[in-house]
Each structure stands twice: as structure tokens, then as C-alpha cells.
Amino acid sequence: MSGRWKSTSASPCWSATGSAWSSRRRRSRRDLAKAFGQGLGQIAAAARDLAQRGAQRPLRIATTPSFAAGWLMPRMSAFWRDHPEVEVEVLSSHGLVDLRRDRIDVALRYGLGNWRGTVTESLVPAEFMAVAAPGLFPPGADLASLTGATWLTYSPYNEEQAWLHDHGIDLGKARVRILSSAELVIEAVKGGVGIGILTRAVAGDALAQGTMEIIASDEGKGGPAYHIVTQPDVHNPVRDVFVKWLRGPVAD
């Protein structure tokens, strides 16, 4: 009988203890839910604050120095004429950027456009070409026949040199000068120093002004291009205005 009594008396004792434990657990859950709700509220407030500050900061555009100088900046007056309220910060560098880490809204980059984790669309063809001062070399000349010419490039990534090789130039024998920027190549070409290897996007304004002319080009052959690169799933109305402008007649 004593064993049964212990069994019976243990049950109410366990039940009371379990009820107290259950009560504490319910209170802990309520406290946790309250703290979690407060945390979510703080996160939402911080997100709103960041969004507001993001809307107030300048639109950040990353591109290469040559594309900025040769294509983008000569066209920015048209953008500001239509959107004078938009402040723009142009970051020019040959280095790779992380759109999220570096808080870049739009990148204008050269290549094939297959960059994972981004939204990419072609802006203008790269279209490599050989250019020279007017009258210095005959347009349409076979580049391989221009022995003794000085070839001017600037790219640290050797695209221009690969282009020369594809057009029959023996880089081991040719006189190649690698300058520090496309701007210097353009000025050297205009001064009659040699034949520059540039893209149409970079050389377009100088060609339009008649200060240099095309000797040979890859027009219509496809290949690498300059692309508009943005982050997916990011809401930024100011960025969207700029991208829409890029898609317009400015790119022609």
C-alpha cells in the first residue's frame, strides 16, 4: 500500500510542478514574442532610414575611365537637362566592383555580359578599330602591311593587343606603345604619333569631330560590348530613370 500511495502522491506533485513549468514557459514565449516583435520593428525602422538616406544620396555609377571620358560624360549634359534634380557620382576605375558592397547603383562595364547575380543588358557594341590622324594612312589598308607603324594601346587587359594579333600584327616585331589611358591614346593619334586601337564607344566623339579617321574596324562582327549592370530585386526609382535614359537615343 505504501508503494501505491507514493505513486498516487507523486502524481499531484508532478502535476503541480509541471503546471508551474508550463506557466513559466508560456511567459517566456510571450516575452520572446514581444522581444521578437520589437526587434522586427527596429529592423523595419532601420530599413526605412537606410532607404531614405539611399534616396537622398547621389546616384552612384561605376565605369572605366576611358568609357567615362569618351562616352558617358559628353552625354551627361543631356541627362541633366531633362533631370536637373538628380545628383550623380561617377566612379571610374579598371578594377572590379561589388554592386552591393560598394553601393553601386549602375555599372557600365565591358565584356560579354554573362555576370552571375546581376541584371545585365547591352548598351553599345565595343567594336575595336584602328584609327589614325586624317591622311596619315589609307583607310581600308591591310593592317599587316603597315610595317614600321607605331601601334598605340592603353588596355591593361590586352584586348587591343589580341585584336592586333588577330589582324596579322606580329607583336614580337611590331612597335607597340602602351599608354596609361584612352585619352592619351586619342591625343597621340591626333598628333600623328601612330595608329591607335580603340573601341568606337571611346573614339566616337573624336571621329565625329574629324580629328582622326578609321583605318580598319570590326563593325557588325559582334563580340564584346559595354553593358548596363544593376542589382536584381532592388527598388530604386532614380536608378530606373537613369537606366531608361541610357536605353534611349543617347546610346545611338
Both 179 and 136 in a single domain?
Answer: yes
Instruction: Yes or no: say if 139 and 207 are a contact pair by the CB < 8 Å rule.
Output: no
Both 134 and 79 in a single domain?
Answer: no
Q: pLDDT for 39-96, tens place per residue?
A: 655 555 444 444 444 456 899 999 988 788 878 998 999 999 999 999 999 998 878 8
How far is residue 26's CA from residue 49's CA, in Å, rounded to a whole number?
34
Both 120 and 154 in a single domain?
Answer: no
Q: What is the pLDDT of residue 13?
A: 37
Domain that residue 113 falls in:
58-125+224-251
Both 212 and 231 in a single domain?
Answer: no
Question: Domain count of the chain?
Answer: 3
Instruction: Report CA torsion sign: 183, 186, 191, 196.
Output: positive
Both 154 and 40 in a single domain?
Answer: no
Both 94 and 203 in a single domain?
Answer: no
How far is residue 5's CA from residue 36's CA, in Å, rounded to a whole number?
46
Whole-model pTM: value is 0.63
Whose cell is 574629324? That residue is: 210
Is 157 exposed, middle or buried (CB count within 10 Å of its CB: 0-12, 13-18, 19+)? exposed
Both 136 and 192 in a single domain?
Answer: yes
Both 112 and 231 in a single domain?
Answer: yes
Q: pLDDT for 196-227, tens place per residue?
A: 999 888 888 899 999 999 999 877 666 778 89
Instruction: Yes or no: say if 91 and 60 are a contact pair by the CB < 8 Å rule.
Output: yes
Both 65 and 115 in a single domain?
Answer: yes
How far is residue 241's CA from residue 83's CA, in Å, rounded to a whole number?
9
How far is residue 17's CA from residue 23's CA, in Å, rounded to a whole number?
10
SS3 state of residue 199: strand
SS3 state of residue 30: helix
Both 16 and 136 in a single domain?
Answer: no
CATH number for position 237: 3.40.190.10
Q: Which amino acid is at 101?
A: R
